[in-house]
Amino acid sequence: MVSLDSHLFKGKSLLTWDVRYRIVHGLSSALFYLHEEGDHCILHRDIKASNIMLDSGFNAKLGDFGLARVVDHAKRSQTTHLAGTLGYMAPECVSSGKASKEADVYSLGVVALEIACGRRSIEPTYEESRASLVAWVWDLFGNRQLLGAADPKLSMDFDTKEMECLLMVGLWCVHPDPKSRPSIRQTIQVLIEAPLPKLPSARPTPTYGVPIGSGIQASDPCFSSVSITIPR
């Protein structure tokens, strides 16, 4: 098993477009299972490329549940210690520490954009306008140049409609306002056949403050060695 991170960013192999799109579908299905299909909702809280493992057939498995939390379906969220990985955390988590379905969807959106663009969510060595993947892709969308975000390593060998869909879904999931993000069910519907979401041409400005003295902390682990196999 090798991480998605190793394939995308460390040159383990070049993932074809068909494989990438299938990984996003599978990851979305796994998150739907965690959020909706059990007796309780499981919030993963640390979805990122290095926590998605691929086998020799590029079938994916979502792992590392060390920060996961179980909540009642009706409750939807839980306030806890700030935890997660910079670049993948929803902006409201930084100020409130609240774990929620919407925060998991945000992390899924970041991974979707990474898969489409072939670059990390934060690249400090890039020029300022491109350092943040989310901000860069949203700028391209606003300038009607969205496909310019596609991974150049693919050499344009991808389905244009699927690429546009994945990029649009990624932006929808990383909307700064959690109430404007899709549910995981809506995400899957758009990836399969539903119309593309309508998004503002300019990325909305997050309004969440960072409390003084806050920092990223790992909460007491649970499910530390559990993984979820993503359906084919």
Enumerate the active-site residues. Answer: 46
Instruction: Report whether 139 contacts 58 (CB < 8 A).
Output: no
**Which of the 8 DSSP states describes residue 42?**
E
In the numeric block, which tokens belong to residue 197?
Answer: 């979401």
In the numeric block, which tokens belong to residue 231?
Answer: 């359906």
Instruction: Report whether 61 contacts 50 (CB < 8 A).
Output: no
> Burial of 147 by CB count in 10 Å (0-12 exposed, 13-18 middle, 19+ buried)?
middle
**Which of the 8 DSSP states describes residue 195?**
P
Instruction: Report whether 119 contacts 9 (CB < 8 A).
Output: yes
**CA gyration radius, the chain:** 17
> Which contiguous run of DSSP H or E holds residue 61?
strand 60-62
**Which of the 8 DSSP states describes residue 180?**
G
Q: Report the alpha-carbon distance of residue 66 to residue 225 in Å, rounded.
A: 7
Q: Report the alpha-carbon distance of residue 28 to residue 191 in Å, rounded.
A: 9
Residues 6+ apart with CB under 8 A from 92: 98, 102, 103, 178, 206, 208
Secondary structure (3-state) at 209? coil
